[in-house]
Structure 1
Amino acid sequence: MKKFLENRLIGTKLGLGFGSVLILALIVGMAGISGVNTLLSRADKVRLSNDLDDTLTEVRQARERFMTSGTNADKETLINRTETFGAFIDKAKIVYDGADIRETVKKTDADLTEYKKAITVLADARQKWDAIDKNANTIRGKIFDNYSDVISQLNQSNDTDTLIAAQSISRNWYALTFAINDFVSKKENIPLKLITTDFQAVFNDTQNLSVPNELESKKQETLSLLSQYDALGKNNPSVNNELVKSQESIMAIASRMDKNIDSITVLQEQRSKEDGNAISSILTTVTAIAILMGIFFALFIRHMIVTPMKDVMTAVEKIASGDLTQQLHTDRKDELGQLYNNIGTMSTTLNTLISEVVAGVLNLSATSEQLETISKQSQKMMLSQKDETDQVATAINEMSSTVAEVARNAETAAEATTETDKIVNQGNQLVSGVVASIGSLASDLTTTSESMEQLKTRTDNVGNVLAVIKAVAEQTNLLALNAAIEAARAGEAGRGFAVVADEVRGLASRTQSSAKEIEDLIIELQNGAQDSLEKMLTSRDLSTRNAEQAKEVLTLFSNISKQVGYMQDMGLQIATASEEQSQVSEEINRSVENVRLLADDTAEGSAESVRAVSNLRTLSHQLKSLTERFKIS
């Protein structure tokens, strides 16, 4: 068996070990699930027993309420609670197992059937009892009313003895009915003395009571009611006995059902504990077996894997120390056996390989020394070529800088010429505007001078009109003077005319004075208009000359613009040529720079080759030292 397992793969071994553990875990899980299901089933049974107990309690409470009230609502509640209890009993027949519990459930079901019948009997007895009580209360009330009517009418008569007898009978009737009601309310049998001797005494006293003729009918009615009440009282014991018996029967049945349900509850609780203990024992046993088997498989598989792994580690440690002379082989067929044999093959292969590497390292060392000498000579030649290329690149770079400077200057001159051309164009536009403004000014001055001449002519006309006004004023003054003289001659008759003549003479005097002032103003206006006309004529001549000079300046600006255009074209040609020369210089500079970079790369590559050859020689020595660490055959 051990040999068989040794030749199995590690996965198979681990599968057997873990598979066994998983099987044990599955067994434990199945046992746990079975136990949980058992406990759940038992919990349902315990819950059902509690439901039976609670429902039976509700039935008992509903029965007590019905026995107290006797109403149809409480009767329906009692029936519904009983039906609910019956439904739980039917469920218990299905759920519960075990002969003893099934027998108890069967007994309870039989008791429930009797209980339902007893409820029907109780309801009938209670209905009869309530009917008797209702009729008795009605009759008793009518009897009280009749006694009250008789006493009331007797109070109106002079028959004192009859009145006292009627009042005594009424009191005795009240005491009798009060005692009877006390027993009825307690659901007890009425004592025979009350319904025979005491009742008969009240009946006889009523029958022997002497009343007037008008009250005789009331007396006979009362006697009839007493007879009816007596009949009800005689029926009461049998109905009361029936009610009491039905109550006692129900209570006896309920007591048996209580005991049965209590026994079911106790049995279910006891079996619930037994199930828990059994499940706990099973789980403990299965878990202990699983742990022991797990430990066994763990130790066994560890032995099957760890021991050959130590052999492999020992062989690997010898190879790691440089010992390649050992011969490794095993007959195991698992991965560790294959690994051990492969390590032995690897040791043999490494032995052969290291031997060949030692021979190659010796040849590599000699070759690397020769390559190092050749690489150093090539490096010196590359450095010399690099220096000469750097000098050429520097000269080309300086020439390129000079050409670029010329191109920039030519471009600056072209830009300055362009700017000058813009300024000349702006001046040309300004002069054109000035010429137009001067022409417009000359036209305005001509128009103004003509207006001034017209103004002078009109002021002259005003002077002529003013002369006429002055002549009229002088003539008016003379006429007023003559009128004043004539008024003085006329005496008192001409005093009014003299006043008018004075006013006219004063008006004529003021008119002459105003005409004099207007004349002075007209003279000043004419003088000012003459001066303005002369200045306008002078300004017109001056603006005409300025317009001619501005036209000459405009022609001069046009000539300057043409010359600047020529300069701009020449500057652009120079800039273009300089730019082309600069581009050619840049191309040469880039070519030389590329050559210089190639020379740098070549020199760097040569230096790298020297370093690589030097490193190769160093590595060959190191490799030789490393191969000397191995022990080979």
Structure 2
Amino acid sequence: MVLVVIGIMGMAILSFSGYRAMSQASDDIDNMYSRKLKATRMLGDEINYMRMIQVRIVKHILDPKDAQINASIDEAMKSYETKWPEYKALGMRADKAAAEIPNTEKKWAEYKNGIQEARKLADAGKTQEAWVYYKGVEAGVTQELLKSLVALQKVADDNADALNEEIVERNASTMTAMIVTTLLCFAVLMGIAFFIVRDIMTNLDRMVMECNRMKDGDFRLNGNYEPRGDELGQMDAAMQDMRKTLNKLMRHVSESAEQLAASSEELTASAGQAAQAATQVAQSATEVVESVEHQQKSVMDSNEAVQSAEASVEEIRQKSDQVEANSNAAATRAEKGNQAIDDSVRQIKDVEETVTASAKMVDRLGERSKEIGEIVDTMTGIAEQTNLLALNASIEAARAGEHGRGFTVVAGEVGKLAQESKESAEKIAKIIKEIQGDTEEAVLSMRTGREAVVEGAQSVESLRTMFEEINQLVVGVSGEISHVTESINAMADATNDIASEMNDINSYSGKVASEMQAVSAATEEQSASAEEIAAASEALAKLAQDQQAALSSFRF
């Protein structure tokens, strides 16, 4: 900036000197124009007006009646007298011209009077006298006026030549002064520029040295430094700010790389745990499927047993109907009645055994349902743990910044799969609870049927012991037979309910198997996602190590 100011001052000095020289030259040119060109032009115009008057006066003498010629003479005289004061103002600046101007004005007055007199003679019809008089005027005053005007022109020419020589001398001295001034200004500017350039080069060398340090990877701060107040100082300050910014950036990148490496290790461990948990869930789901298939088989066996019991109950009901129909003939068919009672006792015992077996089977079905419920609870806990692991993976991926975006998506998919597994487990738990409720109802029905069979057996045993009194107790036997029939009908209804419940249990078991297969597929996908997360976290850890290795070449 200082160099620019000094340069501007030097240019201002040179411009001022040139302006003065140009102004002087312009004044000299104006003076030359006024003294020579303008004065010469005006004197030439005056001579032309005088000659125009001479030509017009001759025509007027020859034809005094021509008004146009007479008017042109007056116009020429008027033009001469109008132009003369302007020239006189210029001519009075020169001494020789000022001395000649009064003589010229005197000659003009005489010339004008002579012309006017000749015009009067011509107007009076004295053409010959007017001609003779004009010739006398032309030979005398006209020539003297012309000589006086020519003398004034010569004075203007002489003054212009002298002024030209003066201008040439003045221009030469002005040129010399401008050259000397230019050389002095150049020398001063060169001296000042030398010191300024040396100062600039010193700062530039220091800045180049700082740039070389940064090129070599040294971004350490140099303590307090006071920069200059000019543009170089601003550049130096900007470079120092850049060093500080890069130093801060590298520190931040180094810390981020360390955190990224640690987060990658944690993410790898979490992904391994998630994969292990997913494997456990898949194994548990497989076991549940096997248990459900076994349960379906048991239910089918129970269903067959119930159908057999139902057939037996139907047969007992038919027998009871026959007993009730033949109770009126019991007295005459005592022997056959005894045998029929024996058959009834045997059949009732068979029904009791069948009902007992069905009850045990339904109890086992309830125990299996409880085992399935415990497995479903385990699956729910695993799904919640997997969801928690997916949440931790999302947090760690978010901390990794730009490099962790892909892991955020994978963690989200893992969380989604865990949520789906949890929902499937909840559905299975709901179905199991329904199965357990139905099983408990079936157990109650079985117990009721068994109690009814036991009561029937006791009644038949009472009939056997009281067979000798059968004739007297026919009415009582009929009532007992009616009671047995009602019990058998209740047992038939219970058997039908058990068959229906068994069908429902079989249907629910199929649903459980389907849901567990879906859970197994989801856990397999979750395991694959966990493996992908582990691989990606390992790549992220390697990237962090490479970044730390790259930063180790810098000093900050």
TM-score bracket, normalised by the shorter chain, equals 0.3 to 0.5
Larger Rg: 1
Q: Normalization by structure 1: what TM-score?
A: 0.39
Q: Normalization by structure 2: what TM-score?
A: 0.43
